[in-house]
Amino acid sequence: MSQDALSDFHPLLRDWFSDSFESPTEVQIASWPRIRNGEHLLITAPTGSGKTLTAFFAAIDAFTKDELPLGQTSVLYVSPLKALNNDIQRNLQGPIAELRRRFDDAGESWADIRTAVRSGDTPQSERQRMIRNRPEILITTPESLSLLLTSVRATQMLATVQTVILDEIHAVLDSRRGAHLMVSLERLVEVAGEVQRIALSATVNPLDKVAHYVGGVSLDGPPRKVGIVETSIKKQIDLEVRFPPPVRDLAEAGESIWPALIEELDTHLQNNQSTLIFSDSRRQCERTTYLLNERADEIVAYAHHGSLSREIRTEVENRLKNGELKGIVATSSLELGIDIGELDEVILMKSPDSVAAAMQRIGRAGHKVGDVSRATFYPMFARDFLDVAVIAKAVAEADIEPVSILEEPLDLLAQTLVSMVAVEDWHVDDVYDVLTRASPYRNLSRRLFDLVVEMLTGKYERSRIRDLRPRIAFDETTQTLSIRKGALMALYANGGTIPDRGYYKMKHAETNTVIGEL
């Protein structure tokens, strides 16, 4: 049955897959025929089930068979992390290069599939190059997708997209970033027509709610039907909850648990080849790293969190992946699927906020299909012990809490209105129709929409709030909305939903290298 799943692929792709993997996973067997049929899909499975390869392998096969055209952007991949996007590009380039060699050796013509990453870190020269020479596969983030749709030339590049892959969709369901992404997809439909949506998610609950969220409403009116693919194979987890041995005595004496905790963590580092320690905060992350290295009299662990520069985070990831480091102490910055190689164990200092987050973190260990994920919880105080007891039991039973989906964020609605009219004038009714096709705004009342339009067109400009000056103009005769001077610059400067933290950059005094932010 597993090899039958490969029967419809190009023979050379089939041979490469068989040489690279033992067999297709359950998720791949169930998904490939439905992807080939053009269905919208929500593919959900534990970490390491081959979800991302499932979507991309089907796309590469379509390029190989001329079912997807070359020389234009046909596949759009969106994930919430820039670092994950860079990983995806690297992980695509390897198989594409191997397949090119196989086709050359067989004397067959190879489809020259090019990939490009578009994010806030992409140099301006590279941004211009990808618009002139359009990649077949474009990799981006929700924020960069919105900015692309605000550019006339970039929108022309996106007009040929046929398939959208939404990775780590579970990570944005309850945030403005998710609403931003869903609205951008409806704007994409306006320029490209209906596109196939393939959403990839860790285990979530309930699935039908997430599928409805991914689908939205079609151009024809009814909700898009999104099929669900889930695995019956449960992730094997070896889970332990521990206190450092002398904790009870220390608590009675009023002393810190840190010396005993660091001793325990150091034991894990020495017993494993690679260990990932999740901490509750950046402060705790730095403290734990410092104490571990101080105890060992050498560098055994590095910190990894959002305040460190991208270059330092990448170096830390690569050092662990290459076996040059015993461990990483991280915040949620490594919760999603950034490639850091194989991990022997995950340590969780303090319980995560949810069962889903705990399972996501634990799944970083034993990442391969069929591997056991080994993890240890270390409660940090008495109340945390109760939280850990509940979460550990729920993880063992795969009892995940229902997802919470953010609906109708009005600040994002205002931002989207400005972004849409920055490209061209819009009839106000058409704008409302596009927005309410996106799931987060499906119940948006026309009255609330009109109030936001009134705010943006200057109804409150005489107030003392400077930010309420008009950003768009409304022609009552034609009922059209258009951009005002200066609004586009404000959008570029303040677009997106990730708040500006107002931090200071910290640089090395001699090399001027950016270390991070404070």
| pLDDT tens for the 518 residues of the chain, in order | 456 889 999 999 999 999 999 889 999 999 999 999 999 999 998 777 789 999 999 999 999 999 999 999 999 999 998 888 888 998 999 999 999 999 999 999 998 999 999 988 888 999 999 999 999 999 999 999 999 999 999 999 999 999 999 999 999 998 999 999 999 999 999 999 999 999 999 888 899 999 999 999 999 889 999 999 998 777 789 999 998 766 555 455 456 788 889 999 999 999 999 999 999 899 999 999 999 999 988 899 999 988 888 788 888 888 888 888 899 999 988 888 787 888 999 999 988 989 999 998 998 888 776 788 999 999 988 888 899 999 999 999 989 999 989 999 999 999 999 999 988 999 999 999 999 999 999 999 999 999 999 999 987 766 666 667 788 899 999 999 998 886 677 666 666 655 555 566 667 666 767 766 66
What is d(CA 289, CA 294) in angstroms, rounded to the nearest whole number?
9
Q: Residue 153: how many CA atoms within 13 Å on its side-chain side?
A: 8
How would you class 144 by CB atoms within 10 Å of its CB: exposed for 0-12, middle for 13-18, buried for 19 or more? buried
237-397: what CATH class?
Answer: alpha beta
Residues carrying CATH 1.10.10, the chain: 410-494
User: What number does CATH give the domain 410-494?
Assistant: 1.10.10
Q: According to the model, what pLDDT value does residue 334 have?
A: 87
> 35 with 199: CB under 8 angstroms?
no
Q: According to the model, what pLDDT value does residue 69 have?
A: 93
Architecture, CATH, for domain 3-230: 3-Layer(aba) Sandwich (3.40)
Structure tokens at 123: 């140099």
φ and ψ at residue 380, rounded to 5 degrees = -100, -15
For the stretch 249-278, pLDDT in tens is 545 545 678 888 999 999 999 999 999 999
Contact residues for 231 (Cβ-Cβ < 8 A; gap 6+): 25, 26, 27, 44, 45, 46, 49
Measured CA to CA in angstroms, residue 266 lies from 151, 272, 329, 367 at distances of: 51, 10, 12, 23
What is d(CA 135, CA 368) in angstroms, rounded to the nearest whole number?
30
For the stretch 142-185, pLDDT in tens is 999 999 999 999 999 999 999 999 999 999 998 999 999 999 99
Query: What is the length of the chain?
Result: 518
Residues carrying CATH 3.40.50.300, the chain: 3-230, 237-397
What is d(CA 412, CA 124) in angstroms, rounded to the nearest whole number?
26
Give the CA angle between residues 94, 100, 105 to the nearest 5°. 130
145-149 — which CB contacts under 8 Å span 24+ positions?
145/76, 145/78, 145/181, 145/184, 145/188, 146/180, 146/183, 146/184, 146/187, 146/416, 146/419, 146/495, 146/496, 147/492, 147/495, 148/118, 149/184, 149/187, 149/188, 149/191, 149/419, 149/423
> 327 with 303: CB under 8 angstroms?
no
> 439 with 42: CB under 8 angstroms?
no
> 515 with 506: CB under 8 angstroms?
yes
Q: According to the model, what pLDDT value does residue 510 have?
A: 64
User: Side chain identity at 493, as an amino acid letter?
Assistant: A
